Amino acid sequence: MALQRSVCRLVHSYGLREIHLLCPVSATHFCPSRLMSKSSIKMSDKKLFTPGPLGTSSTVKSAMLRDLGSRDVEFIQLIKTIRSKLVQIAGVSTSTFTAVPMQGSGTFAIESVFQTATPKSGAKVLVFENGAYGKRLGKVCEVMGVDVDVVSFPENDYVDINKVESIVQGDNSYTLVAMVHCETSSGVINPVEDVGKIVKQYLPESDFFVDAMSSFGAIPLDLQSAKVDYLVSSVNKCLEGVPGFSYAIARLSKLRTCKGNSRSISLDLYDQYDNLEKTNQFRFTPPTHTMLAFSQAIREFETEGGVEGRSARYKENCSILKAGMKEMGFREFLNPYHQGYIITSYRFPEDKNFNFNDFYMKLNERDQVIYPGKVLNADCFRIGSIGYLFPDDMRHLLKCIREVCNEMNMALPIKG
Ligand SMILES: Cc1ncc(COP(=O)(O)O)c(C=O)c1O
């Protein structure tokens, strides 16, 4: 027992990485290092140039190395602070909006809004989509059995506001209109503010929902002028927390009318909100460690200069990437007038020696993780600029890409 206690103290003060070196050979009953395989001893971070999970700072990760009870006064205060900080980051007031954390990845928060904002009868949803994540919004409605119309736009372009206007002008039966801000499958940033204004002009009673999963905290969005009622994002995106929960920023005048709508207990956003308001506690086991990490992530976000500071770093990351890839002859999937800086899709080079799996694996061996494409009409791969990445990381990635192309006997600059 004494040994166990002292190991725990060591874990608390040094972290697992160091404890491996400190753990005595005679610790036969309990030794964290015995639970680690030989290959995990290296424990270096991979650089994640992906849409998620994303890299986080070591201080964010270290903030998790504590256990807290769900009723602990410190934890209760933590929940309150995180909720009010999220509303503040959204640039709105707590008298008009509330932030409701939801256990699970981003899709859980999306489903919780759809479950809660669509009454069991009479709901009709309109989705504007130009990629895989927009399509998912439609699928959520279909699976729930909610009447939904999905209007599609080309994957390599914006949701077109003229078409939006003609649709909402012609049918006033929609109760909720939904779209994605940054369509992470391609990198397109959609004109949410323009769409929101049009939607509310023709459908003033409807709810306007925005999936801002990969943009919240890094791409400015004025919720009031965009007339957003529900926005969702996840802690392990641009706010750089560790994965584990997501959240909805909800307009109070809307959310408060949603009692009893949800067909799911765990995804009932109203009930989650109501319970948090009444008790400051989650209804079910809270993601305590993730929340500790997120609180540190918010501190780091503020130190960096909030949305402005974070977007400046991501923009710089992305412009270094784009310049270096262009020099090697890689072609972007989107036309140059797209100014997104979250993720960039590249067409597969036509070089006969290019093979995505080999390319991916060789970069992975160098601890550089890129991502397969998610657009339907072209073979692409994606490189993200978000998460705990800095200009030097982008330069190092470019150097690795050059090495890998050489190893694969691809001629640089790439032709075609
Ligand atoms: C725009 C968008 N929506 C939804 C999701 C799904 O989020 P998750 O995988 O966390 O459920 C993602 C994930 O990257 C996303 O980028």
Ligand 1 atom closest to residue 184's alpha carbon, by position in its atom list: 16
How far apart CA 27 and CA 34 sit, in angstroms, is 9
The protein residue whose alpha carbon is closest to atom 15 in ligand 1 is 213
Contact 52, 236 (CB under 8 A): yes
Encoded tokens for 258: 């949603």
- How many angstroms separate the alpha carbon of residue 190 from the centre of ligand 1? 15
Residue 101 reports pLDDT greater than 50: yes
Note the pLDDT of residue 180: 98
Q: How confident is the model at residue 375 (pLDDT cuts 50, 70, 90)?
A: confident
List CB contacts of 7: < 8 A, sequence separation 6 or more.
Answer: 19, 23, 27, 30, 31, 32
Second-level CATH architecture of 306-407? Alpha-Beta Complex (3.90)
Q: Which residues line ligand 1 (CB under 6 A)?
A: 51-52, 105-107, 133, 180, 184, 211, 213-214, 234
**Ligand 1 centroid vs 214 CA: distance in angstroms?**
7
Q: Which of 209, 213, 214, 245 to mutate to test the pocket of ligand 1 (most atoms within 8 A of CB)?
A: 213
Q: What six digits make up the tokens of 414?
A: 């790439």
Neighbour tally for 247: CB within 10 Å: 25
> Alpha-carbon distance 400 to 416, whole Å?
21
* 11 alpha carbon – ligand 1 mean position (Å): 33
Here the tokens at position 137 are: 């919004």
Question: 14 pLDDT band (50/70/90 cuts)?
Answer: very low
> In angstroms, what is the span from residue 258 Cα to ligand 1's centroid?
24
Mean local confidence (pLDDT), 86-115: 98
Give residue 43's pLDDT.
Answer: 73
Q: Evaluate whether 350 touches 356 at the Cβ level (below 8 Å).
A: no
- The pLDDT of residue 335 is 94
- Convert the pLDDT of each residue in 3-13 to its tens digit: 444 444 444 44
Indicate whether 33 pLDDT > 60: no
**54 contacts 236 by C-beta, under 8 angstroms:** yes
Give the architecture (CATH level 2) of 73-302. Answer: 3-Layer(aba) Sandwich (3.40)
Mean of all residue pLDDT scores within the chain: 92
Are the beta carbons of 83 and 101 closer than 8 angstroms? yes
Domain ranges of the chain: 1-37, 73-302, 306-407
pLDDT digits (tens, 9 = 90+) for 181-219: 999 999 999 999 999 999 999 999 999 999 999 999 999
Locate the ligand 1 atom nearest the alpha carbon of residue 212 and give its number: 1
The dihedral built from the CA positions of residue 15, 21, 24 and 26, taken in this order, carries a sign that is: positive
CA of 30 to the centre of ligand 1 (A): 38
How many helices (H) and strands (E) in the chain?
15, 14
CA of 235 to the centre of ligand 1 (A): 11
Give residue for tokens 């609180």. Answer: 295
Q: Report the C-alpha gap between 180 and 127 in whole angstroms.
A: 9
Q: Which atom of ligand 1 is nearest to the CA of 181?
A: 1
